[in-house]
Amino acid sequence: MFCTRCGRELRTGVALCGQCGTVVPAELPPMVQFGGQIIPTTPPKPGEGYLKVTGILLIVLSAIGFFMMLELLAGTSAWSIYLDIGVMRGVWIAYCVVGIFHMLYRIFMGIMGIANCRSGIRAQLLRKIAVADILVVVALSLVDAAMLGALGAGMLIIWMLPRLVLPGLFKKGASRNKAAYEAFFNIESEDA
């Protein structure tokens, strides 16, 4: 452990630096001396809160959505017995199956966000996961609009925007962690 003011190496358990008199906190983050500077060995994680909160919300809301899609799938099968819906039955079943897999993907996304909310290394992976979800949301919203006809075209924005909030915040958290990680270790961004 090193003094945060003068950089002198400190013995374990000392309360004051013997050289400059600076008070040594009980718990210091791991520090190393690099190029004459004392730096912490772990980068800051400014996106941690975004990833934790959106991860939890994604898990909870997607679990609810999963069961709602299962109910819709069961209802579609029951309706087809009493109504002659022909080709639409297959479209609705396919839509429900895609929706079920999307909810499972979002649960996975939430788990990955929580598990890696402190990782700068995995931030790029988390950003890609969020972008994939955003693309799926846009595609599903367009399918919603097509299935609902004229009403769907007007409802497109109303349905799509709330669906984009959580993956957007998730991506923001991952981007913040990635930027902090790259700045901390002086890595040139892959995005540039």
Q: Give the per-residue SS3 of 64-100.
A: HHHHHHHHHHHHHHHHHHHCCCCHHHHHHHHHHHHHH
- Measured between its terminal Cα atoms, the distance across the chain in Å is 36
Amino acid identity of 162?
P
Task: Name the 3-class secondary structure at 39.
Answer: strand
- Residue 51, H or E segment: helix 48-82
Instruction: Please write the tens of the pLDDT for every residue from 42-75.
Output: 666 888 999 999 999 999 999 999 999 898 888 7
As a whole number, mean pLDDT of residues 142-167 equals 75
Phi, psi angles (nearest 5°) of residue 34: -135, 115
CA atoms within 13 A on the CB side of 155: 14
Domain boundaries, the chain: 1-42, 48-184
Q: Say how far apart CA 191 and CA 111 lie, in whole Å.
A: 25
Instruction: Please write the tens of the pLDDT for every residue from 85-127.
Output: 666 777 778 888 998 999 999 999 999 999 998 887 788 899 9
